Structure formats: C-alpha cells, structure tokens
Amino acid sequence: MHTDSVAGDGGDFVIQGDICWSTGPQTLEIKPDSFVVCKEGKSAGVFEKLPRQYAHLPLSQCHGKLIIPGLVDLHTHAPQFVNRGLGLDMELLDWLESHAFPEEVKYHNLAYACKAYHFFVEHLKHGPNTRILVYSTVHVPATMVLMDMLEKSGLVSMVGKINMDRNCPDGLREESAAASLDATRKWLDTCAARKNEYVNIKPILTPRFIPSCSDDLLRGLGALRHEFNLPVQSHLSENRKEVEWVKKLHPASEGYGAVYRDFDLLGSAHKDAAPTVMAHCVWSDEKEINLLSERGVFVAHCPQSNANLASGIAPVRRLLNAGVSVGLGSDVAGGTNCSIFRAMSDAIQASKLRRTLLNVDEKTLSLEEAFYLGTAGGGAFFGKVGMGYSGSFEPGSDFDALVVHDNALADPFHLSVRARLEQAINIYDNHLIEAKYVRGKLVKFSQ
C-alpha cells in the first residue's frame, strides 16, 4: 500500500473499518473490517476484500472504528444559532416575536453577521453533518457572507435568503412584495456571477411561511422559481395556532399546503422539476399528506424543535406509508442541537410517544429507519438538485463519510457493530467524530 499521500487530500483513497450504510429505509448494510473506496470524490463501493485495482491507493486504517455516510440536515436557521436554548417555554408564534425575529434583525449589521456566522460554520465543521439546507435572513449582504463561509468550509449546502413582507417587525419586513422580489433577483444574480467560486453551495428560494408573505410576494416567487428552476424551502403545518392563522388569511384555500401549491411553490407532479422541502408537517392531515406525495415534496422532520416549541409530534409513519420523501432537520433554534445524530435519536423517541399518547396503531421508527432518514433520506434531496446524491456508499454517490471513534465507548463490552452504531447515535458526542470527508475531501480531522 502507498502511504506517501493522505486520504482526503484530493486524490483517490481507501478507508478500512466497520462500515455501515443504508440501502433502503429498512435495510442497514453492515460490513465489519471492510474497505470503502473513494474515486474522484465519489464512492466506488464497499468491499470485504480490497480489489487489486485499488491496492495502490493510500489506505486509511480505521480498525475498530465505525465508517458511515455523512449526515444530512434538511432544515436549519443560521442566524438563530447564537440563540440556541432560549425562550423554549413558548410556542411558535410568541417565540418568533420575542426571540427569532429580534435576533434576525441584527443581521442588518454586517460586522455582527460575520461574527455570528463564523461561530455557526465553525461549529458545523466539527459535527457529523456533511450537507445542510440553511435559512439566512432577509439581508442580502449578510447572506453572501454566510454563503462565502459555508463554501470555504467544504461542507455542501444550500442557503436561502428569506422573503417576508408582512406580520413581522421593522428591520425584517421587506418594504413591499416588489422590493422583496427585486432583492431576491439581485441575490440570485450575485450567486450566478460567483458560479465558478461556488462549488459546494447553491441558492434555494425561501418564503419564510405563509403568514409572513403577501399574495403578491408568493405569486412573484412562484414565477421566479420557474424562471430559474429553483428548489424551494419553507415551513408547513408546524403549530396549531399557525395553521388556524393561515386558514383565516386564505379562507378559500383547501388547506395550508394547498396555499403553497396555488402559488406554484409546492414541488411538482413532474419528476425532473426542482423539488420543495417543507419543514415540520406536524398537523398535515390525510389530504395534505397525499398532496405532498403527489408533488414529490420532501419533508424535513424536526423532532427536537417540535418538542421544544410544544408543536406536536409529526405523523412520520403516515408520511412514509404515503410515499413521501422524509429527511431530518435540526431547526436550530427551535431545535437546540445541530447534530443529526440527535435528530435520529429524537425521531425514534417521538414516534414512541406518538404511539403511546395518541393510542394510534403506528409502528414506531426503528434504528434502521432513523439512520436512513438522516443519511440517504435527506441526501436524496441534494441528488435531485444536481449537487450529487449522498448519505450512502452505493457506487456513484458522493463520498461524504464519517470516521466515528466509538471504540472509546464500547471497548470493554465487545458490542456488535449495529449496537455500536446505536450507541453512537444516541450519545451524539461530536468528540466521537474523528474524521469527516465531504465529496472525498477531508473537512475535519482530530485525534
């Protein structure tokens, strides 16, 4: 074996260890002491014996460590990172007014934005997530700062400048629908001009939620979406009072999800169209779930946020049964932890509470399913927007991988590989992440 170059410095390489990845929602592949090959930033597959053609590549020996795909966060708010853990005795609408909005106003100040976004990006680099969908604020200059920092971090991400022109404080409320659309177009033009620099990052259209967007704004964003073939991210059916409010704002509509659909902001029946991701869907009924399924919408399930803000417990089993694509989200600062390991653990816990408290005959989420949602489930969104499939070691998917130094936890007990994965998920300690690769490049290494 060659050892004169380092795995992850840009060339091809091999990692040897206890390899786990999902091949489907219920199927966890486990290959102890095997080899995963990275070729040109993509997985060339997992092998129990290293094929001769790869024998010359640099080998990273990780005996007794877990090798798993990078985790995917389908929903988070960068400006709220510094606000984590605050105001969690409130429900959504009061919390937005008293905590989220006042913090976001500050991002008009570029010096403040630089400082706060630096904390956020540094924190992410050291955690287990390799891909993220991020909201910034309404402010274009601060959004560009965040995008530049994320690009440099090596993580793969999409960032949305928020649109909001009503029901929010001065400093966040854009002057009019036209002003919001104009700022969005300028932002998209700036992103397009940086196309050569932006290898790891792309923009995503981000109407905050229905209560903060006028009809004119939603109509304009629907048109912009088509003009640029852009993906969309937003919030849907998170909290009961919010759902009631949307009913009052759009009394003629068939429901909350239908409002997005009527403005052409809810996925598409066409397979190749840029997809939409909706966070929460806690209160989505059968009709709304079917609408999400028909239009290929991804749902970002954010169990920690849903518990913190007393929003409820999302009907994940029903979404999955209806064929909806589901991934996991941290929803910082509704959620407190960025780690998608934590979201996996919470998703399982929430499914148990739902079954018991609602007395519903719904199977709880298994470890295999939660791991799938936080890896390949969310990773599929990036594949759909042309940023490479991730969250798996299937040949051809982007090589996003974690080396988890879990033997520090399990050593005396000789646990099975599956049990070690379960423990790593439920303990979700960033110190266990020894190395993190994104598209075959080393983003974090610590020993």
Would you tell me which residues interact with Fe ion (CB under 5 A)? 331
3-state secondary structure of 45: strand
Residues paired with residue 16 on neighbouring β-strands, in sequence order:
35, 61
Please say which residue, 225 or 235, places its beta carbon nearer to ligand GUN.
Answer: 235
- Answer for the pair 84, 332: CB distance below 8 angstroms, yes or no: yes
Is 342 one of the binding residues for ligand GUN (CB under 6 A)? no
Please say which residue, 25 or 334, places its beta carbon nearer to ligand GUN.
Answer: 334
Give the whole-angstrom CA distance, residue 223 versus residue 205: 11
Among 235, 295, 301, 439, binds ligand GUN (CB under 6 A): 235
Residue 208 binding result from Fe ion, ligand GUN, none, given CB thresholds of 5 to 8 Å by partner type: ligand GUN
DSSP string, 341-399: HHHHHHHHHHHHHHHHHHT---PPPPHHHHHHIIIIIHHHHHHHTTS---SS-STTSB-
Among 12, 165, 288, 331, binds ligand GUN (CB under 6 A): 331
Residue 406 binding result from ligand GUN, Fe ion, none, given CB thresholds of 5 to 8 Å by partner type: none
# residues contacting ligand GUN (CB under 6 A): 11
CB of 77 to ligand GUN, least distance (A): 5
Contact code string over 141-160 relative to ligand GUN, x by CB under 6 A: --------------------
CB of 242 to Fe ion, least distance (A): 12
What DSSP designation does 219 have? Answer: H
What DSSP designation does 275 have? Answer: P
Q: Where does this chain touch ligand GUN (CB under 6 A) — which range of 92-100, 193-201, 314-322, 424-432? A: 92-100
Pairing of strands 13-24, 27-39: antiparallel
Please say which residue, 137 or 375, places its beta carbon nearer to ligand GUN.
Answer: 137
Q: Which residue type occupies 242?
A: E
Give the whole-angstrom CA distance, residue 127 versus residue 217: 36
Is 100 one of the binding residues for ligand GUN (CB under 6 A)? yes
Please say which residue, 278 or 403, places its beta carbon nearer to ligand GUN.
Answer: 278
- Inter-CA distances, 234 with 253, 285, 300, 345, Å: 18, 18, 10, 24
Among 18, 103, 238, 406, binds ligand GUN (CB under 6 A): 238
Is 42 one of the binding residues for ligand GUN (CB under 6 A)? no
Give the whole-angstrom CA distance, residue 110 versus residue 182: 20
CB of 136 to ligand GUN, least distance (A): 11
Cis check: omega of the bond before 333, within 30 degrees of 0: yes
Among 305, 330, 337, 390, binds ligand GUN (CB under 6 A): 305
Please say which residue, 60 or 212, places its beta carbon nearer to ligand GUN.
Answer: 212
Among 334, 374, 377, 391, binds ligand GUN (CB under 6 A): 334
CB of 306 to ligand GUN, least distance (A): 9
Is 379 one of the binding residues for ligand GUN (CB under 6 A)? no
Selection from 202, 208, 205, 211 nearest residue 224 by Cα:
205
Which residues within the stretch 8-37 sit at the binding site for ligand GUN (CB under 6 A)?
Answer: none
- Answer for the pair 62, 412: CB distance below 8 angstroms, yes or no: no
Among 208, 225, 317, 384, binds ligand GUN (CB under 6 A): 208
Selection from 9, 36, 3, 2 nearest residue 21 by Cα:
36
Residue 161 binding result from Fe ion, ligand GUN, none, given CB thresholds of 5 to 8 Å by partner type: none
> Burial level of 441, CB count in 10 A (0-12/13-18/19+)?
middle
Q: Which residues contact 196 (CB under 8 A, 6 or more apart)?
A: none
Please say which residue, 92 or 218, places its beta carbon nearer to Fe ion.
Answer: 92
H or E element in which residue 144 lies: helix 140-153
Is 103 one of the binding residues for ligand GUN (CB under 6 A)? no
For the chain, the straight-line distance linking the first and the last C-alpha, in angstroms and rounded, comes to 22
Is 209 one of the binding residues for ligand GUN (CB under 6 A)? yes
CB of 242 to ligand GUN, least distance (A): 7
CB of 305 to ligand GUN, least distance (A): 5
Residues that bind ligand GUN (CB under 6 A): 77, 92, 96, 100, 208-209, 235, 238, 305, 331, 334
